[in-house]
Amino acid sequence: MENKKNIALIGMPAVGKSTVGVLLAKKIGFDFMDTDIVIQAKEQKTLAQIIACHGMERFLEIEKQHLMEINCKSHVIATGGSVIYKAEAMRYLAETCVKVYLSVDLDVLKTRLSDVITRGVAIAPGKSIDDLFVERTPLYAAWADLTIHCSRMASEQVASAVVQALPDLSG
């Protein structure tokens, strides 16, 4: 992990990847990037609009394409929650990033993630948050270099936990 130049935060929507990412970047002197914002800027549409216009499968391809164009170092990268569906994208991240899975319990997730449509969550029609949790959790765990269980922590505590888990990052 010491050869990795970036930190990629992975996890379900609404776990705090963007908030924690900004705090973490400040703590270790890295830049911050949110791939959802990158996608929206390049596509000139919100995530919800992209999904509504093109469907979930095409959205996942668009997400993968933009992620694989990222070429940076000394960045904390908050990824979209659906990035784990594309193994090619995850392998690309693995080349330069320590992948940190921000894990929360389902009950916590349900209090944070109320409107999957407006938020632009890649979820198949008829699927629930419970279904998404069951489907994605093993994928996050499989791709993660490190897991931080953050259900009962504030964002600042999560950022500190990442720093403690990877003390040699800023070196």
- Domain limits, the chain: 6-159
3-state SS of 46-66 is: CHHHHHHHHHHHHHHHHHHHH
Task: Give residue-wise pLDDT tens across range 95-151.
Answer: 999 999 999 999 999 998 877 777 788 888 889 999 999 999 999 999 999 999 999
Task: Give residue-wise pLDDT tens across range 55-81.
Answer: 999 999 999 999 999 999 999 999 999
What does the block give as tokens for 35? 């791939």
6-159 carries CATH number 3.40.50.2300: no
Which residue type occupies 17? K
| DSSP-derived secondary structure letter, 135 | H
| DSSP-derived secondary structure letter, 71 | -
